[in-house]
Amino acid sequence: MSRHLTSLIELIRSIPIDCWASGPTAAALHGFDGYVLKPPFHLTIERGHDLQRVGHHIHTARQLDRIDRARVDDVPVLSATRTLIHLAENESTTRLLAALESALRDGLTSEDFLHRRISQLRRRGRTGLRRLLRVLEGHEIGRGGHTWLEREYLRLIDDAELPAPVTQQVLSRRRNSLVRVDCQFPGTNLVVELLGYRWHRTPLQMQVDAERVNRLQMDGFLVLQFTYLHVTTDPSWVLGQTREALTLARAA
């Protein structure tokens, strides 16, 4: 057992309530790239307790569900997924991306589970989630191909045995830009747009979205829009809307 691991265990034992290694300390225990176990240690306790340890960082959390807790080397630690969410509060984009990619590579989390946990925790006002989603989005774009949100919508369509749409089709032009849509159902005028990971879109983004939809509708397309939260939290509604639109769609 390393000297620093021994020191961490002694620190945890000195705290009279449940606590979990978190932040950079948890990242090191999970083996995230770029993290080494060393003081100052980061620990998280449930909110409502006032504890301090000189030379270390004691964080508080409103609630730590069982799914967010783990053990590494017999040390209580935030799960890899919750650790990524915690790191997103303060780490640079570069370090956060390295942590994300190593967690995915080592099977400590998955894109599906990470997206669903982000969606669940988002409702509790947790900081850092938007940054983590931006890093996830950049990770997906860097790999090429469909984003997770597109893949998840396609999976829902396939599981429901609905006709498969084609993706990333150029159908029109807005001002001086091409209008490329996320999904278009062949043989119909139905278009589905998936609105990324942003819960609060900027005025410019809303303007562009409105112009895109207006242009598509004037060109004769029936346009549905689903947000990230629609797909992750209410997939049955998404499928119901898609089914209804397919019955209304006319031949292209």
Residue 169 has a pLDDT of: 84
Among 134-143, 160-169, 237-246, name the one with the lowest average pLDDT. 134-143
Per-residue pLDDT band for 36 (boundaries 50, 70, 90) equals very high
Q: Which CATH number fits domain 148-248: 3.40.50.1820, 3.40.50.1100, 3.10.180.10, 3.40.960.10?
A: 3.40.960.10
Residue 83 has a pLDDT of: 96
Q: Which amino acid is at 22?
A: S
Residue 124 has a pLDDT of: 59
Residue 141 has a pLDDT of: 60
Residue 165: is the preceding peptide bond cis (ω within 30°)? no
Residue 100 to residue 114: CA distance in whole angstroms: 10
Residue 202 has a pLDDT of: 73
Express each pLDDT in 109-127 by its tens digit. 998 899 888 888 876 556 6
Q: Where do the domains of the chain lie?
A: 3-143, 148-248
- Nearest of 74, 72, 16, 24 to residue 46 by alpha carbon: 16
Residue 155 has a pLDDT of: 92
Which residues, 6+ apart, have CB-to-CB distance to 147 below 8 Å? 137, 140, 141, 194, 196
Residue 198 confidence (pLDDT) above 80:
no
Residue 56 has a pLDDT of: 94
Residue 138 has a pLDDT of: 75
Is pTM beyond 0.85? Reply is: no
Which residues, 6+ apart, have CB-to-CB distance to 96 below 8 Å? 84, 87, 88, 131, 132, 135
Residue 159 confidence (pLDDT) above 60:
yes
> Hunting for tokens 């290694």 — which residue is that?
21
Per-residue pLDDT band for 17 (boundaries 50, 70, 90) equals very high
Per-residue pLDDT band for 174 (boundaries 50, 70, 90) equals confident
DSSP string computed for the chain = --HHHHHHHHHHHTSSS--EE-HHHHHHHHT-TT----SSPEEEEETT-----TTSEEEEES---GGGEEEETTEEEE-HHHHHHHHTTTS-HHHHHHHHHHHHHTTS--HHHHHHHHHHHGGGT-TTHHHHHHHHHHHHHHH-S--HHHHHHHHHHHHTTPPPPEEEEEEEEETTEEEEEEEE-TTB-EEEEE--S-SS--HHHHHHHHHHHHHHHHTT-EEEEE-HHHHHH-HHHHHHHHHHHHHHPPB-
- Mean local confidence (pLDDT), 80-89: 93
- Mean local confidence (pLDDT), 200-225: 85
